[in-house]
Structures are given as C-alpha cells and as structure tokens.
Chain A
Amino acid sequence: MAEISFQLLLLQLMTGLALGAIYALLAVGLSLIFGMLTVVNFAHGAFFMVGAFLGVYFLGLTGSFWFSLVLTPLAVGAIGLLCERFLVRPLYGRGIDYPLLLTFGLSYVMIESMRVLFGLEGVPTSVPAELKGVVDLGIGSFPTYRLFLIVATAVIIGALWLFIEKTRYGLIIRAGSRDPEIVRILGVDIARVWLIVFGIGTAIAGLSGLLAAPTRAVNAEMGIPVLAESFVVTVVGGMGSLPGAVVAGLLVGVVFSMTSLFAPEYAELSIFVLMAVVLLVRPQGLFGKAGLMG
C-alpha cells in the first residue's frame, strides 16, 4: 500500500465531515418527522432530489446562490406542507405502514415529475463562483465549498437546536413528540404542529439537496441511494434522536471517506457494515432509547 501521510488522513477526515454534514442534515429531517409524527418518510430522498433541482433552477432564475439558498427550502417545505395536509394526514391512526407506503409512492411521483420537467439527463451544476477554489487549512488545501458545507450544516443544526430547545414552539414539539395527548388537553392543535414539523423536515431535506448539488450529478434518481444512506444514518443514530442523527451522519460520512481512501471498492459497503455492527452491539442505535423512540 502506498504511504499515506498524516496530512492526507486529516484532509480525508475533513472530506468525510463534509459528506457527513449532508447525511446529518438528511437524517435530522427524517428523525424529526419520525420522532414527532411516527411517519417513516420514504419520500425523503425525493424531497432531497427536488431540492437539488429547485436549487439549480432558482440559481438560474435569480443568478444568486444565496437567494436560492433561501427560496429552495421554502419551496420544498411548501410541497411538504401540501403533502402532509392532503396525503399523509388522512392516514394518521392507521398504523405505521400506511404513511410509509404512501410516501414510497409519492417519491416515484416526484421522480417522474422531475423527469418530465427537467429531462432524463438531469441538469448540470457547478460550485457557486464565490465558493470556488481552495482554502489552506494548515494541513493542506481543502475545497472552499466543502468547508462551506460543514459550516452551513453547523449553522443550520445550531439554529434548529435553538429553535427546539429554547423557544415556545420548540417546547410544544418536544412535549408533543413524547405525549401528543396531554399537549392536546393543554389546548394545542397538535395537527397543526405535525403539519409544521413535516414542513420543516422536508425543507431541510430540500436544503441538503441544494447543498449537495454542486458535489454530485443532479438527476431524478439521485435521491434513491440517498434515501437508503439516510436510513442507515438514522438507524445508527437511533430512530427519532436528533443528536443521534448528527453524530451518526458525521460518523457515516467519515467511515465512507476513510474507506474510500484505503479501499475505494468497499466504500459503499462500509456504511452498511457500520450499521450491522451498531445493530449487533446496540440495537436501538447510538442515541436511541430501547424499545421506543426518544
């Protein structure tokens, strides 16, 4: 094996964190929706994909990456709101498999719609001009955009944490995810809270699609492997646990990236091996509560 320097290892670690940042964002959205609504959102990868397309579309429309960064999650979140209100909501109280099947079907509707709207090849993307190039991290140069991914994710997750831990609405979400009935008795229209949480979760999925777009091919199928990877992350972190989603996202990113340094052909496999090991040692996931979501 070729000699691998310490610097290279550190740079690869950073690359893993940048990849993991996207996983963390995706898993946070997935976990938020599952923890609150007990809906396993199989359309999460499709919302990610739509976010990537809309990100490129809004970038073309407004000419500004930053406008797109604001508009895309709003647009994807609005689609999420409509889906919850008219498709998912009638299925509450019928067990976990109904919304799962619905969102599974919904994901194919979204994939086909993007094929019709944007064509089979997808759309070309590039790193926004202001984030092109590399920065010197002291351990070597690192792509500016990947550093931006890590920072942006930290900001988004930090803001979400503040929202959930420090605001009145966050208290409703924390209480409602654990005991929706008492929250209802105390005068909260919990259906509206579920709607908003589904909107936030899908908006974050859309945002992660937009952020990931410059680093991968944007086409209608791009969300399919992402969905599987997001589930790996939520299972490793513990279903419904937000800290678990963040830690497991970063961990999965780093494992993937380190494996691709030493044995690229096993990179895809490595994250599933990680999941299997975690499931054997801690079936509820790193941060999950045994038997029940947190």
Chain B
Amino acid sequence: MSNAILSVRDLNAWYDRSHVVQGISFDVNAGEVVTLMGRNGAGKTSTLRSIMGMLDKRAGSVVFNGQEILATPAFSRFHAGLAFVPEDRRIVPGLTVRENLQLGLIASRARDTTDAMIDEIAQTFPRLKERLSQEGTSLSGGEQQMLAIARAMMAKPRMILMDEPSEGVMPVLVDEMFELFARMKRNGVTILLVEQNVERALSITDRAYILDQGRIVHQGTAAELLADDEIQSKYCAV
C-alpha cells in the first residue's frame, strides 16, 4: 500500500528471552484509525512498544513516513511526528498539569508556542483547563488519561499510538474520549489504537488486526469484525 504512513514488516521483539512479537506485518494509511485487538498477553502492547523503540531486542522493519525507524533511538520518533500514549498514562508525579503539558513540547523546536498550545488544548480538554496548577497525579484516572492524550497532542503529531486509553476510565469520560478520537481523525491525525473495549473501538475504527500469541491471526474492516461473533468471542474476550 503506497498510502501507508506506517508500514510494519516482519516485526519481532523479545522481553528478556520471551519472544513476544513474532513476525507481525501491517500497514496504517494516513488518516486512518486502525485498532489492534486480542486477549491480554497477545502481544498488542509489545507491538506498540517495539514500534516506539522501547524494547531493547527487536528485529524486522518499521517504516514511518518513508523512513526506516526500527533501529533509531526511541526519542527520535517524536521528532518524526510519531506520538505514543502508554497504557499506564505516565503522568509525571510531582509536576503540575501545566508542567506535564509543557513536557509535550519541551523537545520540540516549536516550544516557544507552549503557552499558546496549552490555551488551545485547554479548549479541547475543559476538564484540564480548570486544573492546570494542580498536581497531575491528583487527577482522576480518566482525567489523567485525558492529560496523557493532551500531552501527546501538544506537538501536533502526524500519528498517535494509544495503548488501552479507556482502561479504568469511567464511562462518561470514555464517551468524551471516543468523541475526541473521532474529532482527531477528522482533523487528519492517524491513530493506531490498542483497545479491549471492542465495540467502542470498532465504532471509530477503519480496520482492525487481531493478535494472538504474538502473531496477527485475523484482519478486516470494522464492519466485518463487528459482524463476526465467533472471532470476537475467540480472540477478544478479556
């Protein structure tokens, strides 16, 4: 697919000796929302982490925006326009909401625009706006997740990888979050999502890949997968 902004080919990765990603290949086209699904331990998080260069032992090829990035240092992906929201949110303790947002642009050439970007982001995340001077880790789980997403959006990435954004978030905030993803998609941000909340995820997804034991076992459009109860019950039940 020539339109792919992210091309993963024969990706392999190891945690110590365990071979957690076993030859995964897939594409994400510019502007698409693609979801990786599968049970716990299927290798979804490891796939994201190896794309981000955070697993030490990795092999294969990851081309982002025309550049091979698999072997490059982890921090360089940010500068290529690839953002990541890890599953445990990683709000830095001891820093305020504002400081956590500042971190989102701290390595960017556009860091002079930090204050303007925080104002802009605060429009999108009204919950954060009122809490800018509060310590980030004092927010509720859902608000912390919003903060983590907002922080990743500060640098206006081309593509964002999100690991289980709805986990541990109360339903009303999950609604808000998926509305936000839909809006991000309309604004042209490419999203690669790992999500256990299958129906929710498929509601905004173009295509999905189903992983099992470190391999892709199935792929299809959201409509195809939604219609297929067997696949859902076989691979996606938590």
Contact = CB atoms under 8 A, between A and B. Distances in A.
B50 to A, nearest CB: 13
B86 A186 contact: no
Contacts of A294: 94
A189 interface: yes
Contacts, number: 69
Contacts of B52: 185
B93 interface: yes
B103 interface: yes
B78 interface: yes
A276 B41 CA distance: 47
B54 A172 contact: no
A189 B73 contact: yes
Contact of B106 (A171, A178, A179): A171
Interface in B76-108: 76-79, 83-84, 86, 90, 92-95, 99, 102-104, 106-108
Contacts of B108: 187
A184 interface: yes
B105 to A, nearest CB: 8
B128 interface: no
B86 A182 contact: yes
Interface in B16-47: none
B102 A187 contact: no
Given A182-B90, A185-B52, A186-B103, A175 B95 contact: yes
Interface in A74-128: none
Interface in A148-187: 168, 171-172, 174-175, 178-179, 181-187
B9 to A, nearest CB: 23
Contact of B79 (A172, A175, A179, A187): A187
Interface of A: 168, 171-172, 174-175, 178-179, 181-190, 294
The 8 closest A-B pairs by CB, nearest first: A187-B78, A187-B107, A182-B90, A175-B92, A188-B107, A184-B75, A184-B74, A189-B75
Given A168-B102, A171-B95, A189-B75, 10 more contacts: A168-B111, A171-B99, A171-B102, A172-B103, A174-B95, A178-B93, A178-B94, A182-B92, A185-B52, A187-B75
Interface of B: 52, 54, 73-79, 83-84, 86, 90, 92-95, 99, 102-104, 106-108, 111, 151, 155
